Amino acid sequence: MIKYTQIFQGTAFTSTSPKEVEVLTNYLFCINADGIIEKIVAPSDADYQPLLDAYEGKENFHRLAEGQYFLPGFVDLHVHAPQWAQSGTALDIPLYDWLNTYTFPIEAKFSDLDFAKDVYQDVVSTLLANGTTTALYFATVHKEASLLLAEICAEKGQRGLVGKVVMDDAEQNPTFYRDASTQTALADTEEFILAVKELAKSTKQGVYPVVTPRFIPSCTDDALKGLGELASKHDTYVQSHCSESDWAHGYVQDRFGKNDAFALHDFGLLSDKSVMAHCNFLDDDDADLFAKTGTAVCHCPISNAYFANSVVPIAHLQSKGVEIGLGSDISGGFSPSLFDNVRQAVMSSRMLEDGVNTALPAAERGVQNSRITINEAFYLATAGGGESLSLPIGRLAQNYTWDVQIIDTKLATAKLPIFDAQEDLHDIFQKIMYLARPENIREVWIQGEKVHARK
């Protein structure tokens, strides 16, 4: 019999397609030394009992208690790690004012590595405690502090994809917070890429450098072109904000006479390894370009309610073949929880479908076929995120990483309303998705390692 590093026994929920969630009732998950799910064994399989006989009672055998379930760890495709320091504040003003009055001043403080360490340690731990096992981060313009964030992810066991932010346009950015010049922005980005690649060599779960033009309005043409070249030279991920609000979308149209998608493409910034946040104002040609280049959309539904002047037509983008994942957009979105964002994604889509202005007749109020289900929103937070990053994460299936959250529905202080011992497991799944709180997340594992346990 093959030796496994660990075996877990319990009931799991995992997406098999954007619309379908599969229940794996009382399965065995056999994990190898690399933290990969080497085999999944159903109770009806011939080797189920022999495996139980061989491993039960051993230190590396883990059986879930009654009322506990496995969910895949969440993939948060858009987090501004420094903005954790202002989460929940200043949400009552438009994007442009929010950036200039609150956000750039707080990000400027990350030149101080002690301050950066405090905030970055806390945001990584908080995301882990909320079930986020992979995060795609914007840091700040500072090379050293950005590298510190990657080191903290590596140390705490989170799979972190981290970008040093580029904002080099002296006309558009404040003197107290921008790259000193286009040359230093590009040189710092390249040094950062090499340093993170070096760090990755000793990091089991992976850390990855990300080329990160903040958004077109903050970058010169030369920087955007240089960043496209660096991404291609070093084969890195790329992230930015794309067509987020009326103002941001309009700015790019005025500057280039085209939408963000095509402008970013002209600079070599759209590829299979690109993730663009928001994308509220994507038109059909933009969506086709995303599908063709393999560029993913990161949907940030809580943030959009404040800053995007709109609800993204997620169902429509999906029908166009665009890859989509979910993001918290801390702190444009106030919550570090993708559970909260899954819920908001469903609710926003329902409001888009029905419309909100009762002065209009019902038939004219909304946008048909816009709703997404809780299963679809769960897919965005898990498998959709994994596909967006082209990594084997976000599903509990063979050859995927063992990245899981263990949900306890019977916790005395946060009990879910489950009263029937025979309740349908799809209903229990829905209760978890709508009602689970951070207390219900008892343990989090990444790449086969326990990275969080709630006391």
Helix (H, G, I), strand (E, B) or coil at 213: strand
Rounded to an integer, what distance in angstroms lies between the CA atom of residue 304 and that of residue 326? 12
Give the burial string for 365-399 (b: 16+ CB within 10 Å, else e).
ebbeebbbebbbbbbbbbbbbbbbbebebbbbbee
Helix (H, G, I), strand (E, B) or coil at 246: helix
Rounded to an integer, what distance in angstroms lies between the CA atom of residue 126 and that of residue 115? 17
Which residue has 């030149």 as its token pair?
A: 111
Provide Rg for the chain, Cα atoms.
22
Q: Which residue lies nearer to ligand GUN by CB, 15 or 303?
A: 303
**346 with 373: CB under 8 angstroms?**
yes
Residue 68 beta carbon to ligand GUN: minimum distance, rounded to whole angstroms = 36
- Closest C-alpha among 401, 426, 362 to residue 134: 401
**345 with 377: CB under 8 angstroms?**
yes
Among 70, 208, 307, 378, binds ligand GUN (CB under 6 A): 307
Q: Which residue lies nearer to ligand GUN by CB, 172 or 232?
A: 172
Rounded to an integer, what distance in angstroms lies between the CA atom of residue 447 and that of residue 158? 9
Q: Which residue lies nearer to Fe ion by CB, 329 or 353?
A: 329
Residue whose Cβ sits closest to ligand GUN: 332
Task: Say how far residue 29 (Cα) sits from the centre of its chain.
Answer: 24
Residue 241 beta carbon to Fe ion: minimum distance, rounded to whole angstroms = 6
Kindly state whether residue 299 participates in binding ligand GUN, applying the rule CB under 6 A.
no
Residue 330 beta carbon to ligand GUN: minimum distance, rounded to whole angstroms = 9
Residue 267 interface partner, choices Fe ion, ligand GUN, none, CB cut-off 5-8 Å depending on type: none
Kindly state whether residue 103 participates in binding ligand GUN, applying the rule CB under 6 A.
yes
Residue 140 beta carbon to ligand GUN: minimum distance, rounded to whole angstroms = 10
Residues in 320-339 at the binding interface with ligand GUN, rule: CB under 6 A = 329, 332
Per residue, the 3-state secondary structure of 129-164, as one string, reads: HCCEEEEEEECCCCHHHHHHHHHHHHHHCCEEEEEC
Residue 440 beta carbon to Fe ion: minimum distance, rounded to whole angstroms = 28
Residue 239 interface partner, choices Fe ion, ligand GUN, none, CB cut-off 5-8 Å depending on type: none
Rounded to an integer, what distance in angstroms lies between the CA atom of residue 390 and that of residue 193? 19
Rounded to an integer, what distance in angstroms lies between the CA atom of residue 14 and that of residue 30? 16
Residue 443 beta carbon to ligand GUN: minimum distance, rounded to whole angstroms = 32
Instruction: Please give the size of the binding site for ligand GUN, defined by CB under 6 A.
Output: 12
Rounded to an integer, what distance in angstroms lies between the CA atom of residue 213 and that of residue 178? 12
Could you list the residues that contact Fe ion (CB under 5 A)? 329
Residue 429 interface partner, choices ligand GUN, Fe ion, none, CB cut-off 5-8 Å depending on type: none
Kindly state whether residue 76 participates in binding ligand GUN, applying the rule CB under 6 A.
no
Residue 147 beta carbon to Fe ion: minimum distance, rounded to whole angstroms = 21
Kindly state whether residue 303 participates in binding ligand GUN, applying the rule CB under 6 A.
yes
Q: Which residue lies nearer to Fe ion by CB, 329 or 403?
A: 329
- State the DSSP H helix or E strand holding residue 275, giving kind and residue range, or none if neither: strand 274-278
Q: Which residue lies nearer to Fe ion by CB, 107 or 329?
A: 329
Rounded to an integer, what distance in angstroms lies between the CA atom of residue 302 and that of residue 441? 21
Residues in contact with ligand GUN, shown as a per-residue x/- string from 193 to 222 under the rule CB under 6 A: ---------------------xx-------
Q: Which residue lies nearer to ligand GUN by CB, 79 or 433?
A: 79
Residue 27 interface partner, choices ligand GUN, Fe ion, none, CB cut-off 5-8 Å depending on type: none
Q: Which residue lies nearer to Fe ion by CB, 329 or 408?
A: 329
Residue 243 beta carbon to ligand GUN: minimum distance, rounded to whole angstroms = 11
Peptide bond into 181 cis (omega under 30): no
Q: Which residue lies nearer to Fe ion by CB, 99 or 444?
A: 99
Residue 278 beta carbon to ligand GUN: minimum distance, rounded to whole angstroms = 7
Q: Which residue lies nearer to Fe ion by CB, 179 or 329?
A: 329
From 20-28, 60-68, 95-103, 288-296, span contacting ligand GUN (CB under 6 A): 95-103
The one-character DSSP state at 330 is B
Q: Which residue lies nearer to Fe ion by CB, 12 or 296?
A: 296
Which residue has 């990300």 as its token pair?
A: 210
Kindly state whether residue 164 participates in binding ligand GUN, applying the rule CB under 6 A.
no
Residue 178 beta carbon to Fe ion: minimum distance, rounded to whole angstroms = 17
Burial class for 63, CB neighbours closer than 10 Å (0-12, 13-18, 19+): middle
CA distance from start to end of the chain: 36
The site for ligand GUN (CB under 6 A) is made up of: 80, 95, 99, 103, 214-215, 241, 244, 303, 307, 329, 332
